Amino acid sequence: MPLDSRPHPLNSLGFAKPERDTRVVVAMSGGVDSSVVAAQLAEGGYDVVGVTLQLYDHGAALARKGACCAGRDIHDARRVAETMGFPHYVLDYEDMFREAVIDEFADSYLAGATPVPCIRCNERVKFRDLLETARDLEADCMATGHYIQRKMGANGPELHCATDANRDQSYFLFSTTPEQLDYLRFPLGHLPSKEATRKLAAKYGLSVADKPDSQDICFVPDGDYANVIEKLRPGAGEPGEIVDMDGRMLGCHDGVIRYTIGQRRGLGIGGLAEPLYVVRLDPEARQVVVGPKDALSTRHVPLREINWLGATPIGSRAEWHLSVKVRSTRPPREAILRPAAGGAVVELLNPEEGVAPGQACVFYETGSSRVLGGGWITRRA
């Protein structure tokens, strides 16, 4: 067999061809994580193209730190590309981001839910529209700086938690579809710590090596969700009553959008015999319903918009025994998943507190790092 006709071994991205012939689009936020991914791949000889998304009007954010996709971050991403010698493009996705993420964020709060816009951004912008742009650029794959792992299984690529549990972002990526997973790569998921990422950034001489992590939702610069919603939806902060579970008025509030399920502080109804928590929001009646802590306990969680990543169809069984997360900061808990018309119902073997409509419920294979998908928590009928 002639030497040049032999099959090429798989490169680190899983393609049977030389690195120089493998084009990879890297989604660059301007932070240290995606910068290291781009630098690492460029050093490895890949045909790297960096892309940064302008997701909102960043003029007001130029002087602040702690949020992605602002003016400073675009500048930082460009500097990394210049340092490592690969092309970099900035794409204006403001209209798309507003329609796909910001508008739903505001409307969800108005409906008494507690949304997770970062999941919608990954689902509807980065892993849908940007991924299609990567295909248009004739890239073989798209890489991101997310802390999650893509592993090859018997039936194709699987989604797994990051090695570093403290950095794991599987909760925010549950809606990644099998087709997207086939195209995506997550080079940082195996690293033992964020410190290891920063050491790599220093090794490559990147200016962002010591850049602080993003803390806020990018379009909520100071964490004041209610203020943003009132600007988007004037009149959203209408006052109303705080009532107990029997409907007795205990006080007044200045907008349902300022409260979340499980909240205890800031209710303004002190002097009671026991602490009270927000157990339900009724935006139509403009009421915040409060009750004792045990009223927060939930065993059955209805879900919609299920994304399933299991090897066999979700409807192939009446029930699935697995583990779930109902909040990003909580560890997985044992549960039973039962498919239902229009979604599914999760039965928690041990009740959880503060389960809120609008949050995600993410599925994990019991005793494994594998992510099996998830769904959106909806209001009980």
Indicate the pTM of the whole model: 0.91
* Catalytic-residue membership of 141: no
Contact present, 150 and 158 (Cβ < 8 Å)? yes
pLDDT value, residue 270 = 73
pLDDT value, residue 57 = 63
Over residues 108-142, the pLDDT tens digits come to 999 999 999 999 999 999 999 999 999 999 999 99
* Catalytic-residue membership of 252: no
pLDDT band of 269, cuts 50, 70, 90: confident
Contact present, 189 and 148 (Cβ < 8 Å)? yes
Mean pLDDT, the chain, whole residue set: 92
> Does residue 71 carry a pLDDT above 70?
yes
Of 68, 141, 218, 361, which is the active-site residue?
218
At 148, phi and psi to the nearest 5? -160, 160
Cα-based distances in Å from 22 to 36, 128, 254: 18, 21, 56
Over residues 3-20, the pLDDT tens digits come to 556 778 999 999 999 999
> Does residue 60 carry a pLDDT above 60?
no
Contact present, 297 and 261 (Cβ < 8 Å)? no
> Does residue 380 carry a pLDDT above 80?
no
Of 121, 141, 161, 361, which is the active-site residue?
121
pLDDT value, residue 2 = 52
Contact present, 374 and 133 (Cβ < 8 Å)? no
Ordered structural domains, the chain, with CATH:
9-203 (3.40.50.620), 237-291 (2.30.30.280), 298-377 (2.40.30.10)
Between 221 and 304, residue with greater pLDDT: 304
